[in-house]
Amino acid sequence: MTAHRAGATPVRVHVIEPAARVARDDLVAIEEPLEIRVAAAGGGEARTVALTMRTPGADFELAAGFLHTEGVVADRAAVRRIDYCSDAGDQRYNVVTVRLASPDLPELASLDRYGTVSSACGVCGKTSLDALELRASSLPSGHPRIDPDVLHSLPAALRQAQRTFSATGGLHAAGVFTATGDTMAVREDVGRHNAVDKVVGWALLKGVPVGEAVLVVSGRAGFEIVQKAVAARIPVVCAVSAPSSLAVDVATRFDVTLVGFLRDRRANVYAGADRIG
């Protein structure tokens, strides 16, 4: 499990340069499936709700964050325990069961759209947006207030915490920060949506409030990133790259501050500009 904890595994590569061809050791980010199961406190067979391709590490946070952003788990009290599955044999570290506090399973029909979730993107679109509108409301306007200097400091703070990216160059990162720029938690994964679920799950399991936090992602801001922020009640989302049109629509609809191209002391604010300044 050493490589799993590091999130990277060694490989042999041939480096081709104009003047030479050299064989050397390198590291690549690990990508493996994680099956997420849900079980009721009253017993009964666990139900598989998703299979996501992820970088091993913070698996319990990933499972909790995924279920929270999908509306299955409302808070920490809704989770009785999380375990790796002993009946999965050699693959036990790729199967996680979330045992809920409720004696019966909640309605899980909204998760039927999840078969395999690739590391490239989450499941998104009109179905997800409709489901989000049924369970989420707009966030409180104007809070928190973010100083522009703090905003510009966040990409460097995120990058500094990307230890596996430094070794592999192959992982996304998501971090939650205070409105004054202090790092709360940073997680890495081959999937940007998984990285977000990991930090959301960290906050849920630790009981850390994120109602005035800033979510920063290392790549673009697609629909699934803003959707997860709305579900977790995180009011500010920042990306070092571009947002999508649907991400802007969701941010506007739910009063989330959405910042894109946050780099080189510049930023575009696509929604919720009243929180910046």
Q: What CATH number corresponds to the domain at position 265?
A: 3.40.140.10
Would you say residue 172 lies in a domain? Answer: yes
Give residue 1's pLDDT band: very low, low, confident or very high (50, 70, 90): very low
Would you say residue 175 lies in a domain? Answer: yes
Instruction: Catalytic residue, from 85, 121, 124, 238: name it.
Output: 121
Distance between CA atoms of residues 49 and 96, nearest Å: 11
Domain tally for the chain? 1
Would you say residue 18 lies in a domain? Answer: no
Would you say residue 247 lies in a domain? Answer: yes
Would you say residue 28 lies in a domain? Answer: no
> How many CB atoms are closer than 10 A to CB 263?
13
Q: Are 4 and 16 in contact (CB under 8 A)?
A: no
Give pLDDT tens digits for 202-233. Answer: 999 999 999 999 999 998 999 999 999 999 99
Across 5-33, average pLDDT: 86
Q: Are 200 and 189 in contact (CB under 8 A)?
A: no
- The domain in which residue 268 lies consists of 148-275
Across 243-272, average pLDDT: 95
Give pLDDT tens digits for 88-104. Answer: 666 778 999 999 999 99
- Known catalytic residue at 85: no
Would you say residue 271 lies in a domain? Answer: yes
Would you say residue 255 lies in a domain? Answer: yes
The residue among 110 and 107 whose pLDDT is bigger is 107
The residue among 32 and 136 whose pLDDT is bigger is 32
Q: Is the pTM of this model over 0.85?
A: yes
